[in-house]
Structure 1
Amino acid sequence: MRYHNRFVLTMIAVILLLVSVIGCSQSSEEVKDGKAGTNETAGNNNSTGKETDGLPMSNGKYDPPVTITTVRGVGGDLTFKNGEKIENNVHLKWAKEKLGIDIKYLWTVTDTNDAFKTKLRLSLSANQKMPDIVALRSDVDKDMIDSGKFMEVGELFDRYASQTWKDAMNEDPSVWYPYMRDGKRYGIPILDYAYNADPVLWIREDWLKKLNLTAPKTIEDMERIMEAFTNQDPDGNGVKDTVGLTIGFKNWVNTWMSDAGWVFGAYGAMPNQWNEKPDGTLEYGSVSTEAKAGLAKLREWMEKGLIPKEAGLFDETKATELFTAGKAGMVAGPHWMPWWPLEDVKKNVKGAEYKAYPIPSGPDGKAGRHDTASRNGVVLINKDMKNPEVFFTYQNYLFEHYANPAAGSEFENGMAKGYDWDEVNGKVVVGGEVPGGAVPVNKYTLTFDGARIPSLSMKTLAKLANGEEAVTPYEKTTKAASPATVLEAARIVLDQKAIVMPQKFVGAPTETMMAKNELLQKMEKETFSKIIYGKVPLEEFDKFVKEWNSAGGEKVTKEVNDWYATVTSK
């Protein structure tokens, strides 16, 4: 009962107030200022039997149950058992039984080819009624916020969110920026684990051993290894069918897996994002002077055949398949890739081994990698939702009890026994050992992953990598689920945190961005591709920078810096 004492004091104050002002209701100003005696009940879901802003509660849950309506795009990451589905599953039953919250889906859609985003946009254009809660991982969030159908949530969060949730949010206050309009907050960021997609360099360890090579520390070292992996038949099949490094830049050069942003980082650049210059202003990384050197290196590797000739056609997953098929010796990507998809290389190639290594440095000793936002979506609350505090009751409970569960708590081993964990012969089992197979119950939640404290994951993984004992349930669960390759990669990520080049513009798209971004991105992708493939000379980059600025980039840069001044001057 973390908040028991504070709650008791609050209730005493309420009783005294009621005694002194019998028959008088609290004014709207008292409620607005957070003076309502129900605040702690709503925010922390204590079992008080009292009312929560007019909604009666008994034994810590709403009685009678209250309904939250929502919608969902059902992706391939959602799997079920026991005949359940997103509209009827173990988590929804738990929410109703434990909290008295009945979660109802107005509609769901199989989320392929942006079907969920398309349906939301159609709903907006048709002026259809929106659900109480919309959780998004899509750029449609801007249209939703600007539709005027969703409420300002900053005051609600300040009033109702539990301290644990607030502390997690405060680890990176910039998570609010994309959802702010005129200083007000219109979306609640869904928190993710920090450093979750920061890359390390994965290398075929058995190829290094076979060719008597040592791990690279610099881009120059790496290039020598790439040449050996490409030209010295590391797979031993007598055919020249391997490449040193697999990348895919169909979508972007700097992306979440099989990316090449760190190649530019070796020269002090980071494309496809806004970076802070020494003078404190922001510059788009793809038009920085240093980006030219990164392009030159990729062009050289393409010419030598050290990266796949299909790189421009590969998305992130397709490029990585070259590694898992045993045809590429290196790939850059997150620490968690041994969970998926790197283990496939062992299935496809007998005796295959791989290992994580630090991002290499460039000729001047520089190294750089992109960062990972501590958010992976947003929750919007319908302005017509009668009791928005109900969502906070739900999410507070997950932050207090699931995000970092205590020993002996209901979520100590997972979300639901028989689903993501079970007990077999007196032993707790997870994953494939769960009878009937495990399913990801946390993905059934309104916020996709339950509740995450950004700093918790990497700190835990690094602690375990250093050989320290797992003490808490979260640490024990993480240890049980994490192979040594994941732990070592996580340690490398934290060891190299000084090389992170963070995306500094995380606000809502500017006016000129909305009008010109499609054109500017097309110019960028076409120019980068042509340079890498040698279809135009490297000097074409200088022409591109001038055209990018004149086509709207210069105005975008001013707008971005105007925004940056508003958030850095506080």
Structure 2
Amino acid sequence: MNKWKKTTAFGLVACTLVFASACSSTNSQEAAQSPTTSTSPTNSEKKIVQLTTVRSNPSDIKWDPGESMDKNSVYDAYEQDLGIRIKNMWVADSKQFAQKLNMMIASNDIPDFFSVADQVQLQQLVDADMLMDMSAIFDKYASSETKEWFTKDGGNQMKSAKVDGKLMAIPLTADPYGSSSYLWVRKDWLSKLNLPEPKTMQDVLKISEEFTKKDPGGTGKSFGLTLQKDLLDDYGLTGFFNGYHAYPGIWQKGTDGKLVYGSIQPQMKVALKQLQDMYKSGQIDPEFGAKDPDKENELVAANKIGMAYGAFYLSAWPLASAAIKDGKLVQDWQVYGLPSIDGTAAKSQIGLGVNGYVVVSKNCKNPEAVIQILNQWIKLQISMTDKERVYINGKELEDKGKLYFKVNPIRLFAQDGNVQAGGILPKAIESKDPSMLKNDPDLMNRYAAAQNYLKGDVSGWFHWMIAKSGGSFSIMNQYLKDSRYEQDQFFGAPTQTMQDKKSVLDAKEKEIFTKIIMNQVSIDEFDKFVADWNNLGGEKITKEVNDWYTKQK
């Protein structure tokens, strides 16, 4: 999978936050970056600005001889191209980094710029009056490409970095659509049992029942639907709930225009009752409460389950390990958009899509240099010369799996990258014309893997399921065209009551939902849960969320 876009366990969705820091100038000259273009002055026209930083050292970077996080070809490129010398104050491994950074923040001895993991830490730094307002600096020094980059989601990601109207950080943008849900079904089992492809939730329920009763895998025991202990996300129930117009864990607009919490809405009770009935009839693994997705995948690999909800990359992880055996495709899966329980199309819930925030100390002497680095990274994402591949691949310029892109002190990704890929990648594959992909490294990799799959290379199957016409990217793109995304409407810093009570409320929610599904308690316990949720802090959280929401209008 793509090694240098936001990825998870199979190279698809988990991005290590980059922590850059400090701005001190070896010469007190302002950087000469143009505010409307990412073109840098030549070395003869500028002096060197030194930026100090603290870094996490990813263990999977394969360093060229003589190179390290302290001295490498990527840092050299920033100095050569931008006149910015990056110097690490310290480097720690990923396990120790967060603790070391927290200690530095607690001592009020922060670098000039670095990344924080979330809005909680951002708010702590704002409250301690340690950060610089970047509003005017961003407006002056951000290139036109950079400014456009941050507007494709309507501005919510940038709003999440503002406090009282001031831009107190730069959001590490990513694609919020990448968290959307899809239904994955064994198409060979549908054919074997002469079942139609799922178009409605009624079809889904019928498929689950038939897969359970008729055991198309021939193992002696089958289940209709995957489920794991966390309940949501991959091999979970997010997409199932969305089929009932229920949106657990996010804030949505209610009928009165105010924000309501999705997990306590009536639609959740209807969906939970259906899941309880499925569990009672043997359609759900009775041991799901003790299993993570990898463990549940053992049943999938053993031909005991043929239907699952999950993200666009489910074909890569965890399905690929079940579907491909000894170089052969042994399970024929198909991906579908979310079916609905009624005549209203189901929407897929998504979050904000931010991986963290770059913050700048109020004592930073050259904050504009941070924006120069930001401009350079975005320029590389839009268009990259052969020489500039050093930023991604190191001095050899070619992708040899060394993961040099992780050396860059600021990394962020397109807000609409995957969803737009769904509009052009299938066309390029069908026409065998990669030119329309404009040399985008991610799309070119997926295109090549899909073409190789069509030639018989089974290892490219998971790419094919994502990239083909009717694949998950194609559905993702169609969701956008049809306005089938339900985005979390709360993207502010956690309210005070959230910080105090949310972990307790979340644990109670998971406990009650699990007990309802496993028929350990009556479905009427949902109503008691809603009352308890409100009494234990949820009602106050709702008020705080709506106070925040009012200020955003």
TM-score interval, smaller chain: 0.7 to 0.9
Q: Is the 8 A contact 1:124 1:147 kept in 2?
A: no
> Partner residue of 2:534?
549
Aligned: 1:104 with 2:90:
no
> Partner residue of 2:447?
479
> Partner residue of 1:292?
269
> Partner residue of 2:311?
334
The residue type equivalent to 1:132 in the other structure is D
State the 1:386 CA deviation.
1.6
How is 1:209-358 mapped onto 2 (pairs within 5 angstroms)? Answer: 209-236=191-218, 238-240=219-221, 242-250=222-230, 253-255=231-233, 257-316=234-293, 318-320=295-297, 322-323=299-300, 326-348=303-325, 351-358=330-337
Residue number among 342, 356, 381 corresponding to 2:360 in the alignment: 381
State the 1:541 CA deviation.
0.8
Question: What runs of 5+ residues in structure 1 fail to find an aligned partner?
Answer: 1-35, 50-56, 423-429
SS at match of 1:338: coil
> Partner residue of 2:115?
135
The residue type equivalent to 1:226 in the other structure is S
Q: Is the 8 A contact 2:51 2:87 kept in 1?
A: yes
Distance (Å, rounded) in 1 between the aligned partners of 2:299 and 2:125: 38
Alpha-carbon distance change, 41 to 288 in structure 1, aligned in 2, over 3 angstroms: same
The residue type equivalent to 2:321 in the other structure is D
Number of aligned residue pairs: 496
SS at match of 2:381: coil
Measured on the aligned residues, the alpha-carbon RMSD in Å equals 3.0
Alpha-carbon distance change, 364 to 416 in structure 1, aligned in 2, over 3 angstroms: same
Give the structure-1-normalised TM-score.
Answer: 0.79
Distance (Å, rounded) in 2 between the aligned partners of 1:229 and 1:273: 32
Aligned: 1:198 with 2:159:
no
Distance (Å, rounded) in 2 between the aligned partners of 1:526 and 1:301: 18
The residue type equivalent to 1:95 in the other structure is Y
Moved over 6 A (4+): 36-39
Give the structure-2-normalised TM-score.
Answer: 0.81
> Partner residue of 1:459?
420
Greater RCO (CA < 8 Å, at least 6 residues apart) = 2
SS at match of 1:243: coil
The residue type equivalent to 1:245 in the other structure is L
Distance (Å, rounded) in 2 between the aligned partners of 1:221 and 1:562: 42
Q: Which stretch of the first structure deviates more once superposed, 470-479 or 264-273? A: 470-479
State the 1:540 CA deviation.
0.8
State the 1:293 CA deviation.
0.9
State the 1:151 CA deviation.
1.8
List per-residue Cα deviations over 1:453-479 (Å, max 9, x = no partner): 322332133212134643211154552
Alpha-carbon distance change, 380 to 312 in structure 1, aligned in 2, over 3 angstroms: farther
SS at match of 2:178: coil
State the 1:549 CA deviation.
1.1
SS at match of 2:150: helix
Aligned: 1:180 with 2:162:
yes
> Partner residue of 2:41?
48
Indicate the percent of aligned positions where both proteins have the same amino acid: 29
Residue number among 460, 468, 476 corresponding to 1:493 in the alignment: 476
> Partner residue of 1:562?
547
Alpha-carbon distance change, 500 to 314 in structure 1, aligned in 2, over 3 angstroms: farther
Distance (Å, rounded) in 1 between the aligned partners of 2:82 and 2:294: 39
State the 1:522 CA deviation.
2.5
Alpha-carbon distance change, 507 to 319 in structure 1, aligned in 2, over 3 angstroms: farther
> Partner residue of 1:404?
382
Alpha-carbon distance change, 40 to 87 in structure 1, aligned in 2, over 3 angstroms: closer
SS at match of 1:528: helix
Aligned: 1:367 with 2:346:
yes
> Partner residue of 1:3?
none
State the 1:162 CA deviation.
0.9
Aligned: 1:189 with 2:171:
yes
List per-residue Cα deviations over 1:214-267 (Å, max 9, x = no partner): 32112221122223333433333x432x432223342xx443x23312222222
Distance (Å, rounded) in 2 between the aligned partners of 1:97 and 1:40: 14
The residue type equivalent to 1:370 in the other structure is Q
State the 1:327 CA deviation.
4.0
Residue number among 44, 48, 66 corresponding to 1:58 in the alignment: 44
